Amino acid sequence: MSDDTRAAQKATPSLTATQLLLARRAPLHASLSPDGGLLALTTSSIAAGTEVETVAFTLVDVATGDERAVPGAGADDRIGVWSPDGCTLAVLTEREGTMALSVVPSGDASGAGARLLSGAAHVVGPPVWSPDGCTIAVPCRRGEVIDRSRPYRWTRPIPVFDGLGPLEDPPQIRLVDVATGRGRWVTDDGWRWGMPRWSPDGTRLAAVASLDPTGRQVGQFLRIIDVDPAGSSDEPHAPDVPGGRTLVATWLADGRLVVLIGEPRDRPSGTEARIVVIDGDDVGVVPLQGGVRLLGDVYGDNPAELADSYETVVLPVSGSSVIVRTGSRGRMGIARLDVDSGAVEVLVDGDRCASPIAATGDLLVFTTQSCERPVELAAVPLVGDRSERQLTSCSAGSPTSVVGRRFVVADPSLSNERQAAAGFELDAWFLRDVDAGDGPLPTVLVVHGGPQFAYGESFNLDVHALCAAGFGVLYTNPRGSTGWGDAFAHAVHSDWADGPTQDVLAVVDHAIAEGWVDGARLGVTGNSYGGYLSAWLSATTDRFRAAVIENPVTDLVSMWGTSDIGLGFFAAQFGGPPRDRMEVYVAQSPLHQAHRSATPSLFVVGEVDRRCPPAQAWAMHRVLVSVGTPSEVLVLPGSSHEGSTYGPPAGRFAHDAALVEWMTRWVGVG
């Protein structure tokens, strides 16, 4: 345990590791001034021993790291974005329970020059300045809300989307004149609009449309909006590029549009991201050199939303080059990509997860974290000396007493010959407190969600809470995970259960053989797909003394019809809807194995989870109780699918406390 941690816990012995970690500031948003001198930074923290979350809005001097309050900013200001000339911040501010938009001169210490832009109300995303600084594009709701205390009718295939709420008022793109404050809509339909990006000449907007009101198209889609200075705009048009699970666009100085498509919808679910370049009517795929993989979604469990944001995973720099986020085998890095040649220059790598935030001149600002260290912001020159500098000290004094060991295990489903040919290995991590000794330790296996995501060098509060309580923690990237290529990611299709079970148990057995893990004292936990596999393992093996099953899938058939993403997602995962693949859906549903379970299980559900509805957990809990297996349900009020990470503080604390208590009760420590 670090000296800072010992001092903190001695001073406040009742505080848990989770409380101490959440008391440190987590970066939520950042905007770099055009000259690269100042970073407008938004962070959040929860005061130790309370459930009060505080948002701070500050300026960081990039050269010195000095931090100060934003001149003229008020207590309700949340995030700020620099104007092209660096003289003004466009600021989102909370007014009467909704977000408004104001402009604040950066040199005005009094705040008297701050001006509310009346043309933007119900703002739901960061503002984007036009190149000339005269107009701001911003996604806003229209304020059309159904009175749900009265009978109403509905046409969309789903009424709500997880984390977003009811869908009758999807955000549209609004243009606001900075001088007059007047605004006008440039989209007006049933799609959800976001991430507007101005072309260099200010005549077009690239934006992302999602949540097709008919439900027939799944994912995010690129749209181009022609902007008429006179006040009228044509209907948005769709370039000839596929949609994706996520989609991020940026313009080059010559007017070409670079688009990163995560998990393209014209390929099987889980397919690697690709980059295309749009030049007029021509669309070309960029052939990446050197086997680089893009996007690199590596799951964490901490409130530093900036490190998980897709907004800036592609950034223009100069000429035909862009900054892109890369990812492979549980790590994320940053590279400079020439979209004409496909040449790749690695800028940030190593045993960590990094994500680009801003690039201007010869400077790159990015987030950096590892399984041992929380998220901070750093900078590196794009030319000359590549020495990195840490810009923030958000986690100074945090309990970072966990040490990690990365190791590799052969995929047990492949022979040695096939293993060598396919190149599949299972990347895995074992973490423990520095004072826990070398083991063997009672250990909790943590399974990631997705299934097409990954674990690795990302900071995880659950892991640190378990390690602080005396447990070892083990996690891996079984088949279906990203970072190993398409064949590995696709290997989970129609095989959510048996194949991944082989993989995670092979990693468990390896760690036991190495003497790190006490094989007689094992627990298992996970969220979403991780909840699914935890439920499956708890019912089909006797390897685990306890399970904490968070927001799980237990009945694949009902998930197809009740999850907000059910129809498209599960058909892609299992080769069709239940009516065509009923045997597969039923055979791989933990609910139908639950009567065999003797594993004490704690289910954790977000009360307003629309991704994996709470009924999934309640159904399996009911079966366990009926056969006499210890089972409880922890309900997190007001929490969506990721509520234990980003939801109300009470739920975050309750989740980690329950996780540690349940494992301590049934697995034991010491």
Q: What is the pLDDT of residue 423?
A: 62
Q: Which of 158-167, 227-236, 497-506, 638-647 comes out lowest in average pLDDT? A: 227-236
Contact indicator for 535, 552 with CB cutoff of 8 Å:
yes
Q: Which token pair is 334?
A: 């940053």
Question: Residue 420 above 70 pLDDT?
Answer: no
pLDDT in tens, 57-85: 999 999 999 999 998 788 889 999 999 99
> What is the pLDDT of the chain when averaged over all its residues?
93
Structural element, H or E, at residue 529: helix 529-540
- Is the Cβ–Cβ distance between 57 and 50 less than 8 Å? no
497-524 in b/e form (b: 16+ CB < 10 A) is bebbbbbbbbbbebbbeeebbbeebbbb
Tens of pLDDT, residues 474-512: 999 999 999 999 999 999 999 999 999 999 999 999 999
pLDDT in tens, 436-470: 977 799 999 999 999 999 999 999 999 999 999 99
- E strand residue ranges, 36-191: 38-46, 53-61, 67-69, 77-82, 88-95, 98-105, 115-116, 128-129, 135-140, 160-161, 165-166, 172-177, 183-185
Question: Which tokens is 637 given?
Answer: 């009020």
How big is the chain, counted in residues? 670
pLDDT at 379 over 60: yes
High-pLDDT (> 90) share of the chain, %: 87
Count CB-CB contacts under 10 A for residue 632.
15
pLDDT band for position 398 (50/70/90)? low
pLDDT given at position 5: 45
Which pLDDT score, from 0 to 100, does residue 312 have? 97
Look at residue 667 and tell me whether its pLDDT is greater than 70: yes
Euclidean distance between CA atoms 199 and 618, whole angstroms: 50
* Bridging pattern class, strands 441-447 and 472-476: parallel
Q: Determine contact, residues 42/55, Cβ cutoff 8 Å.
A: yes
Q: How confident is the model at residue 529 (pLDDT cuts 50, 70, 90)?
A: very high
Domains, the chain, ordered by start: 402-666 (3.40.50.1820)
Q: For helices 461-468 and 649-666, what crossing angle results, to 10°?
A: 40
pLDDT band at 110 (very low <50, low <70, confident <90, very high): low
pLDDT reading at 3 higher than 70 = no
Two structure tokens written together for 383 = 């030319």
pLDDT at 241: 96
* Largest Cα span, the chain: 73
C-alpha–C-alpha distance, residues 398 and 45, integer Å: 12
- The pLDDT tens digits of the residues spanning 194-217 come to 999 999 999 999 999 999 999 999
Read off the pLDDT of residues 6-52 as tens digits, 9 standing for 90 and up: 444 444 457 899 999 999 999 999 999 999 999 999 999 999 999 99
pLDDT on residue 7 = 45
Contacts of 663 (CB under 8 A, 6+ apart): 442, 444, 466, 469, 471, 523, 525, 546, 548
Of 316, 502, 304, 532, give the one whose Cα is nearest residue 410: 502
Strands 192-198 and 353-360: unpaired
Which of 143, 193, 188 has its CA nearest to residue 168?
Answer: 143
Would you place residue 414 in the very low, low, confident or very high pLDDT band (cuts 50, 70, 90)? low
pTM of the complete model = 0.95
Task: Give per-residue burial for 152-178: e unless 16+ CB within 10 Å, then b.
Answer: eeeebebeebbbbeebbbbbbbbbbeb
Residue 397's pLDDT band (boundaries 50, 70, 90)? low
Q: What is the pLDDT of residue 8?
A: 44
What's the rounded Cα separation, in Å, for the pair 487 and 424?
Answer: 9
What integer pLDDT is reported at residue 11 of this predicted model? 44
Output the DSSP codes for 193-213. EEEEEE-TTSSEEEEEEES-T
Q: Quick one: average pLDDT of 106-121? A: 79
Compute the average pLDDT of residues 96-121: 84
| pLDDT above 80 for 111 | no
Question: What band does 106 get if pLDDT is binned at 50, 70 and 90?
Answer: confident
- Model pLDDT, residue 418: 53
Cβ-contact 504, 533 below 8 angstroms: yes
Query: Each residue of 227-264: pLDDT tens digit?
Result: 987 666 678 999 999 999 999 999 999 999 999 999 99
Q: What pLDDT was estimated at residue 93?
A: 94
Tell me the per-residue pLDDT of 573-624, one tens digit each, with 9 for 90 and over: 999 999 999 999 999 999 999 999 999 999 999 999 999 999 999 999 999 9
pLDDT number for residue 108: 63
From CA 582, how far away is CA 140, in angstroms rounded?
42
Q: Are 641 and 610 in contact (CB under 8 A)?
A: yes
